[in-house]
Structure formats: structure tokens, C-alpha cells
């Protein structure tokens, strides 16, 4: 129970650290872009307090957006539609102010929705129409459109050039953590083989099972990297490498994780059923595989790994007790997955 609690605490700490790092980066970029947009709107247009420029930059750089370009374009389109509708509404006699405002909001949102665009477009269209009627054309009309253009431009500058995340970092970081955690679990399996202890085997199995969070993180990193490779300047420059890494990990990471988990389960099952002494060299074999995982993680570039030369042939490990055969079969799957995980994806068609 203490081991499970420690694993959960480590996972929570790692998750909070990742969220803090990503949140700090996003908050820094957004705050800097808002300040720059505010300053440029003052200098270029002479607006005394161009808060809409800063707001537009924040909206364009909102965390979690798959496409900052579409967000900026949608923001501009929505603001333009809302301002035009609001200006037209100002020409209507102000007999019932509330009805005029509601009508402007209705028609601006309706027009924006007809294009099948992202939610930011109808939202900004409705807000812009209401602002034009509420605080006046001089403040919320085309003056605001100019400020929004500055804010959107600054947002694009930050999202596309200045603070675009490296699309390879997310993939490599998640892959490194997965490989290191798998190596730790395999070392736990080796310890269970040394002690011939079922509880040690269960602990190793649990350690490998919690690596599922790393697998999920890797999938998230692959999706984000593919999005960056498509929608950012920096991402396009690394698009070929992103596709190669994504292909390698999408195909083989699950195989490596699953085969490791199955091996640990077969090991725990053999010990629980009172299997005889494990095959000679099995523990050393598991340690060598763990070292290969760690070595692959240390590379960083994740080029093609060395061949499995130096390991004794798997067929040379003959179990005296048939209860060990499932573990050896899972070990073979794990070695195949590890070898494929390190090969050039262009060779893994």
C-alpha cells in the first residue's frame, strides 16, 4: 500500500510540474504579447488606452488552442462583422434601446454563424455589436477594429515565431519518461527474480502499470507536435522530423509498454504458483533490456538504436519449469518491440 501511495504521489508531482511548466510558458507569452500590443497601439494610432489591443492578443494566445492562426483570423472576422452590424443598428431610430441592442446581437451572431466558423467568430461578432451600441462608435467601432488588428498581429507574431514551442520537445520528453519508467519497472522485475519474492514482482508490475500515464502523455505530445508542424512556422521547419518520430512512437510505444506489462504479469504469476528456480541468465537478460531502454532515452535524438547483439539468444534460455514459459514468450515480444521502437520508422512500413 505504501508503494502504491508513493507511485501516486510521484505521478501527481510529475503532472503538476508539467502543468506548471506549460502554464508558465503560456502565461509569459500571453502577458508579453498583451503588453506589446498595448504599446504599439498607443504609438501607431495614438490611442490613449488601447485595452482592446491587449485583449485581442490574449484571446489569440489562449492556452490549449490547436490553431492560433484560425483564432486570430476568426477574431478579426467576428469583430468586423459585429462592428458593421452595430454601425448599421446606430442608424435605426433609438425608440427602444434594449430591442435595438438585442437585434444587433442577434443578427451579428446569426451572420457569423452562417460561415460555419470557429466559436470565436460569432462570440466576437455579438460582443462587438453590443459594444458599439453600448459605449459608442468612437470607442468600440473602427477604432476598436484597429486595436484588435494590432493585438491579433502581435498574437500571430508570438504564436508563429517568437515563442512557438519546439514540437520535438514534447514528443521526446514524453518518450524519455516512458522509457525510463519502463526501465525502472524492469529493474524491479529483475529484483523479484533475485529475491524469488511474489511481493517484489507485484510491486514491479504496479510500477510498470502506472507508466500508462506516460503513454497517454506521449500520445498528447504527438498530437500537439503534429498540430504545431502544420500551423506554425517553427513547426513547419521541423515537420519531416516530427512525422518520423510520430510514426515511430505511434506504432511501437504501445507494443513496448504492453509487452513489458505482460512480462511482469507472467513473472508475478509464475512466482505466485510456486515455479521452480528461474532460467539461468533470465535476470541478467531483463537488466540488459532495462539498460537498453535507458540508453535509448539518453540519446535525445532517438536515432536508430544499436542491434540487440551482445545479448545471448533467447532460445538459449531453457526453463526447467513450464511455469516460466509464458514469461519467456512475453520477454521475446518485449525485445521485438524494443528493437522496432529504436529503428528508423522508414524501415518499419
At CA 107, angle to CA 104 and CA 113, rounded to 5?
Answer: 135
Instruction: Flag whether 239 is in a domain.
Output: yes
Instruction: Flag whether 181 is in a domain.
Output: yes
> How does pLDDT run across 78-95, given as a tens digit for each residue?
999 999 999 899 888 878
Reported as half-sphere exposure (CB side, CA atoms, 13 A), residue 9 has a value of 6
pLDDT at 9 over 90: no
pLDDT at 344 over 60: no
Which segment of 77-86, 108-117, 206-215, 315-324 scores lowest on mean pLDDT?
315-324
The three cell numbers locating residue 307: 542491434
End-to-end C-alpha distance for the chain, whole angstroms = 44
| H-only helix segments in the chain | 2-45, 51-60, 68-90, 97-113, 120-135, 137-140, 142-157, 167-195, 198-209, 212-231, 233-237, 239-272, 282-299, 325-342
Domain-ending residue, one of 121, 138, 162: 162
CA 80, CA 92: separation in Å to the nearest integer?
19
> How does pLDDT run across 22-58, given as a tens digit for each residue?
678 788 888 999 999 999 999 998 888 888 899 999 9
CA 86, CA 107: separation in Å to the nearest integer?
10
Query: Do 158 and 187 belong to one domain?
Result: no
The three cell numbers locating residue 318: 531453457
The CATH number of the domain where 314 resides is what? 1.20.58
At CA 113, angle to CA 111 and CA 114, rounded to 5?
Answer: 70
Q: Using 50, 70 and 90 to split pLDDT, how confident is the model at 97? A: confident
The three cell numbers locating residue 127: 460582443
What domain count does the chain have?
2
| pTM of the model as a whole | 0.61
DSSP string, 1-41: -HHHHHHHHHHHHHHHHHHHHHHHHHHHHHHHHHHHHHHHH
Mean pLDDT of 225-239: 68
Q: Which residues contact 170 (CB under 8 A, 6 or more apart)?
A: 220, 221, 224, 225
Query: Do 110 and 229 belong to one domain?
Result: no
Of 6, 30, 8, 10, nearest in space to 18 by CA:
10
Q: Give yes or no for a contact between 169 and 25, defined as CB atoms under 8 angstroms apart.
A: no
Of 178, 144, 182, nearest in space to 52 by CA:
144
Reported as half-sphere exposure (CB side, CA atoms, 13 A), residue 318 has a value of 2
Max CA distance (Å), the chain: 96
Query: Do 43 and 63 belong to one domain?
Result: yes
CA 270, CA 325: separation in Å to the nearest integer?
9
> How does pLDDT run across 158-192, given as a tens digit for each residue?
877 776 666 777 777 888 888 999 999 999 999 99
Q: Is 209 exposed, middle or buried (0-12, 13-18, 19+ CB in 10 A)?
A: middle
CA 53, CA 38: separation in Å to the nearest integer?
6
Query: Do 137 and 184 belong to one domain?
Result: no
Domain-ending residue, one of 162, 179, 195: 162
Domain-ending residue, one of 119, 139, 162: 162
Q: What is the pLDDT of residue 314?
A: 58
Q: What is the extent of the structural domain holding 196?
A: 167-347
The three cell numbers locating residue 56: 485581442
Q: What is the mean pLDDT of the chain?
A: 81
Query: Do 229 and 139 belong to one domain?
Result: no
pLDDT at 198 over 60: yes
Amino acid at each position: 500500500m505504501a508503494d502504491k501511495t508513493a507511485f501516486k504521489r510521484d505521478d501527481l508531482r510529475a503532472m503538476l510540474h508539467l502543468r506548471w511548466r506549460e502554464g508558465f510558458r503560456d502565461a509569459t507569452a500571453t502577458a508579453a504579447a498583451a503588453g506589446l500590443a498595448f504599446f504599439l497601439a498607443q504609438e501607431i494610432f495614438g490611442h490613449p488606452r488601447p485595452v482592446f489591443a491587449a485583449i485581442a492578443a490574449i484571446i489569440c494566445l489562449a492556452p490549449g488552442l490547436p490553431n492560433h492562426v484560425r483564432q486570430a483570423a476568426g477574431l478579426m472576422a467576428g469583430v468586423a462583422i459585429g462592428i458593421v452590424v452595430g454601425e448599421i443598428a446606430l442608424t435605426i431610430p433609438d425608440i427602444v434601446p434594449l430591442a435595438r441592442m438585442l437585434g444587433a446581437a442577434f443578427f451579428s451572431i446569426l451572420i457569423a454563424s452562417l460561415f460555419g466558423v470557429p466559436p470565436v467568430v460569432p462570440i466576437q461578432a455579438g460582443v462587438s455589436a453590443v459594444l458599439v451600441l453600448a459605449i459608442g462608435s468612437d470607442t468600440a467601432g473602427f477604432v476598436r477594429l484597429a486595436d484588435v488588428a494590432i493585438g491579433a498581429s502581435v498574437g500571430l507574431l508570438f504564436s508563429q515565431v517568437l515563442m512557438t514551442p519546439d514540437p520535438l520537445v514534447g514528443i521526446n520528453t514524453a518518450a524519455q519518461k516512458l522509457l525510463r519508467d519502463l526501465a525502472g519497472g524492469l529493474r524491479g522485475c529483475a529484483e523479484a527474480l533475485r529475491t524469488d519474492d511474489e511481493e517484489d514482482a507485484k510491486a514491479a508490475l504496479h510500477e510498470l502499470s502506472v507508466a500508462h500515464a506516460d503513454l497517454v502523455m506521449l500520445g498528447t505530445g504527438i498530437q500537439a507536435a503534429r498540430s504545431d508542424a502544420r500551423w506554425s512556422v517553427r513547426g513547419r521547419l521541423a515537420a519531416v522530423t516530427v512525422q518520423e518520430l510520430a510514426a515511430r512512437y505511434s506504432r511501437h510505444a504501445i507494443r513496448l509498454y504492453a509487452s513489458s506489462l505482460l512480462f511482469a504479469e507472467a513473472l508475478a504469476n509464475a512466482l505466485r504458483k510456486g515455479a521452480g528456480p528461474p532460467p539461468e541468465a533470465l535476470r541478467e537478460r531483463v537488466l540488459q533490456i532495462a539498460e537498453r531502454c535507458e540508453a535509448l532515452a539518453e540519446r535525445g535524438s532517438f536515432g536508430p538504436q544499436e542491434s540487440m547483439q551482445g545479448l545471448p539468444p533467447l532460445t538459449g534460455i531453457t526453463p526447467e519449469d513450464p511455469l516460466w514459459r509464458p514469461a519467456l514468450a512475453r520477454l521475446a515480444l518485449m525485445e521485438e518491440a524494443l528493437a522496432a521502437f529504436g529503428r528508423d520508422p522508414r524501415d518499419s512500413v
